[in-house]
Chains A and B, each alone.
Chain A
């Protein structure tokens, strides 16, 4: 479904992604793990088009998408729930969700997406008219995911969905990710909590300073000594 080949991305003179190659197949949950600065978020930015890549190729459903603008890429069925949630603080919950469906035209389909999101996150339905800035951190995270879902994406990319959340909320979020996958959405997940990530993922990539250090099934990675030592707390 998604294929990155030898992608190189720079921030000024900083070489953030070095010949990165990643594949995500339809229906999978794939996770990227790695420490800060390993290039996880840059990978997602490169895919969605907010960061231009220098060389390499990014194919989505067989079509080259690198070099396109974010709105063109989003239109093809990729959605991102960004790091730090980035909800629109002065817009209501409902308006935030509306923007998630910005490129969609079909009113009844959009209606269905609202129902689906409110079904996944009943808390958001209760707070429909409230400005997003007044929500708690967990609710904002739900809103960010919900907003991405409003695009009815084929591929959903989640950047640190559990960051800063209370443990019970983390568990809930991961439950939801599973549910979303069940509904037929492919997921690319970045997660600091590598334990949880590998627990729900099918496969994983370990990134280190812009390189893909390792790639394997989630089960194998969980058993890998180096990975355990570095990311899973021994």
Chain B
């Protein structure tokens, strides 16, 4: 089994290097300096195929990338957003000639938001010799890392909340903030409100519980603003009515609600709070930075604060192009934080593959992802020693149907 795999791998590499020549002239520069990087990273076959393939015609064989998301089921909106973000990156690369002349083909797999389904897909994908990298997994991030690690496929997840995710293997990367980083960023938002009494509202699941505990821990260690947690309310994801929770917050005198839950809880909460407790300010996570939050929440979400590294209104060219392409592919939906993270994840992966000079050496690709210097929509996409992206946030405030930088 291992032998066949090795032979196939070698064949794939030769094929890859054959194809690599096509784009060589176009991207001569790039492929030149990354070859060195690949050799440094210890790719055994990096140079070998190159000689033999000189002068060969570009084969045009596509380079396959797998994208795994919850495409159907209750989380399908997230699957769609992540897929569209990835598609924009793939389209942009293909428009400029692909990777060394080879087109990029993104294969979409539907995890259905189920752990077991995700695991089965990972088994399938990690056995596919033609796949050079994976973006995604949604509910199953913590159980698939090792499979991809063994197959030497870099997995970049734009939505992994579990702390343990990135430690599964040396090729699992996280392109979203860890709970700690995001919680700290939410505290920066709370600073902008300037009120001391916090009411914590958290989703009663793994992530919500950990986030709420993380907040307490952070405040215990360092609390320069003098915050006091006056109420802690766990909520359930499917619940719609938060009037009782709001009554509790009001009774406890909470001035700012720090919400560790998805936007689909924050919005109904805000609508209800706008009637029952309009003085309450709301700080929520980066997942609320999206269009639906604003369109469903309307004026009731005015004044909600969220940290985001991506600003769809930023005037730089990369963001503007992304927004334009995204609107086109999505049929008019504005990109969210999550779609920007997905775009950056795909961009990091494709750049890494490109940088290996078209040889498609797996180890070289992993090394290139690890050491990337990519400047993405969220800012620098550099990974720290835990393979978690280093995030820099801005505090944003919802104001009359738009997210604007917080004063």
A and B touch in the complex (CB under 8 A): no
- What is B's interface to A at a CB cutoff of 8 Å? none
